[in-house]
Structure 1
């Protein structure tokens, strides 16, 4: 028991980290935490989960916890931010594109490499994100003797329906996992319902936003005199862009022309360009962008027409920036926007047009919704709240292990 408790470290002297001026309540004392944590993820692209892993690793490091990020497949543009913060990044070399006979030996070698790294680093906690990572982390943690294993659940389980092998592997991994951490109550409830996970094995921690998300920004230049409707989402079918373009055409027909700015890339771009041309609406395809704050500052309203969603970073960032949001009531979006935005049903262009029109025609309504959303996000969505909650979870799980 004494040896186990040595894995806990008290982190102090950081309670002044939260910057003044954003209206957040005073920070509570940062709880004791593990000496070392490893975060496992597939890659470090520009997705929302990857961003949260970087923020968590940086926050752990700032609290005196030795955080390491382990990459299964490849790096990405977020890797430099980790290295700048002094967070070691380990490439494990799992094969994401190899097929057939080459896949198994390549991944067997990478799995052995993962186990060796865990044995060498001896982390108190291994926290895995997304499906491939957490099903790999479970046997690796067991073989390496890692005391606590946590798995992050970031989306609804729709993509697993009918995929019996995937479900079986996931359930096996869940049985070896100490706790699942969902990023929305909707995700947690979906996991409990579909996978029969008990309530005491899953908890919810909202995604976190850095100070820059709350800071004022100079508006980006978008050459138009019409109101700008901004959507930040990869151009994939489940993001519902086709309904959004239809909604913008309906607004134009109602005497309310807008400029729709779409941020993100993906396989639907050509089809959406053709739809916009056919309906003769002003749609700007801006591609992948990193200057999100200026784009938010330029928009009159932000929208997300997703058909399925876990917890949207794009909606969170719009709330933090004080922009009114009109979005479909799917996944965790309702948790974010209830009484703080306009929620409409998915796959309903008419309802989406009506919601956008309400905000565009009544700027006072948009201002009130935006103010409530920003105030709520300051209290609940700041990165410090996210990191502190994870440290608390790690500590409690380690204490439980020590007591066994």
Structure 2
């Protein structure tokens, strides 16, 4: 059996005119020296972690007096309403996926032209693109539109690009046209430096941010069980490792520690996981997609994340903010979050997960210490204000550098 460890144990004139125009239209109260206008570009606005962070960033920038516009490549989604409610304009550009067939190339050429026109009309000081399709599209568009500063987000490890030489070549070309990359974890930054041969001074790390609601007390939701609840919030996809977590709770039952596993999320692995649950006879509740994260966290005795690959997990961050002990696999940026504040186990190891969860459930003092440390650290480092202020500082420094050229 793999050794269990806590994470702390792991060893020309036009440019001048443009600057003047931007400065003149800067809203009252704008962050000192910050941009007057920022455009954020993303594919869609579903319930994923990156989409959530974009909404929080957009709302925070607007609260600081910066004019924000969100540009969507493909489609909207459930988070679009939050932007519109905050008075943030959202523009649909009309890109289509490969499923459009022969229509894809002309449709995307028209959408790209629309993006360039929007940027020329809005004249943002900064264009910040999130996720692969957005940042490789943003690079040529920003050049054609004369955007002064282009920032690209790196939100996950680059495993999905391994062996895909065309994708890597396009990405490196786009990176060459980008002023700065922003990673959401040191592990993501290191992976980017290694895979894309990016110099250290071209990438910085800014942790994801959490809103006030993530830290507020919540009444627990009802889950009809007398057993301890192990909560996992993750889309039901192969790389999230749910099969090892189901194996772990079955092992705990056999060891005399029955638990109820609550799985929040949906995805292509649901049927296979339901079949596994029936085979092993574990108490697993498939709760589907949920937005009431805080009450669910309040009900859980342990939060588990068995991912095989991970960038920076919003689910782990939210559990820390709620003061819940976390057992997670030591992948990506998870170790950065849980160092001395959680239990880390190797990926793809149901026995190690079972041991980690069992240790926390049996040792209430350990559970309380880990939860308290996690909450205190998250209050200091993971609040949305820290995330937004760091982005504004980055934008300002890049604009100052551009003005000095």
Aligned equivalents of 1:125 and 1:29: distance in 2? Answer: 14
The structure-2 alpha-carbon separation of the partners of 1:26 and 1:57, relative to structure 1 and needing over 3 Å to count, comes to: closer
Deviation at 1:97, TM superposition (A): 4.7
Deviation at 1:96, TM superposition (A): 1.9
The within-5 A match list for 1:150-165 is: 150-165=151-166
The structure-2 alpha-carbon separation of the partners of 1:140 and 1:280, relative to structure 1 and needing over 3 Å to count, comes to: same
Aligned equivalents of 1:63 and 1:321: distance in 2? Answer: 27
Deviation at 1:10, TM superposition (A): 44
Deviation at 1:98, TM superposition (A): 3.8
Deviation at 1:364, TM superposition (A): 1.2
Aligned equivalents of 2:131 and 2:98: distance in 1? Answer: 18
Deviation at 1:16, TM superposition (A): 34
Aligned equivalents of 2:96 and 2:298: distance in 1? Answer: 41
The structure-2 alpha-carbon separation of the partners of 1:323 and 1:16, relative to structure 1 and needing over 3 Å to count, comes to: farther
User: How many residue pairs are counted as aligned between the two chains?
Assistant: 400
Deviation at 1:17, TM superposition (A): 31
CA contact (8 A) 1:24 1:379 kept: no
Deviation at 1:36, TM superposition (A): 0.1
Q: Which runs of 5 or more residues in structure 2 are unaligned?
A: 5-9
Aligned equivalents of 2:345 and 2:328: distance in 1? Answer: 6
Aligned equivalents of 2:260 and 2:21: distance in 1? Answer: 36
The structure-2 alpha-carbon separation of the partners of 1:30 and 1:344, relative to structure 1 and needing over 3 Å to count, comes to: farther
Aligned equivalents of 2:13 and 2:365: distance in 1? Answer: 44
CA contact (8 A) 1:302 1:325 kept: yes
How much is the aligned-residue C-alpha RMSD, in angstroms? 9.1
The structure-2 alpha-carbon separation of the partners of 1:257 and 1:11, relative to structure 1 and needing over 3 Å to count, comes to: farther
| Per-residue Cα deviation, 1:125-155 (whole angstroms, up to 9, x for no partner) | 0000000000000000000000000000000
**What secondary structure, in the 3-state scheme, does the structure 1 residue paired with 2:359 have?**
helix
CA contact (8 A) 1:152 1:180 kept: yes
Aligned equivalents of 1:171 and 1:279: distance in 2? Answer: 46
| Per-residue Cα deviation, 1:233-261 (whole angstroms, up to 9, x for no partner) | 00000000000000000000000000000
Aligned equivalents of 1:92 and 1:72: distance in 2? Answer: 5
CA contact (8 A) 1:11 1:30 kept: no
| Per-residue Cα deviation, 1:251-287 (whole angstroms, up to 9, x for no partner) | 0000000000000000000100010111001000000
Stretches of 4+ moved more than 6 A in 1? 5-29
Query: Which sits farther off after the overlay, 94-103 or 136-145?
Result: 94-103
Deviation at 1:15, TM superposition (A): 31
Deviation at 1:99, TM superposition (A): 3.8
Report the TM-score when normalising by structure 2.
0.92
CA contact (8 A) 1:260 1:283 kept: yes
CA contact (8 A) 2:45 2:80 kept: yes
Aligned equivalents of 1:363 and 1:383: distance in 2? Answer: 30
The within-5 A match list for 1:355-374 is: 355-374=356-375
| Per-residue Cα deviation, 1:69-89 (whole angstroms, up to 9, x for no partner) | 000000000000000111000
| Per-residue Cα deviation, 1:178-236 (whole angstroms, up to 9, x for no partner) | 00000000000000111110000000000000000000000000000000000000000
Deviation at 1:100, TM superposition (A): 3.6
Deviation at 1:23, TM superposition (A): 38
| Per-residue Cα deviation, 1:44-75 (whole angstroms, up to 9, x for no partner) | 00000000000000000000000110000000
CA contact (8 A) 1:241 1:305 kept: yes
CA contact (8 A) 2:157 2:310 kept: yes
The structure-2 alpha-carbon separation of the partners of 1:96 and 1:20, relative to structure 1 and needing over 3 Å to count, comes to: closer
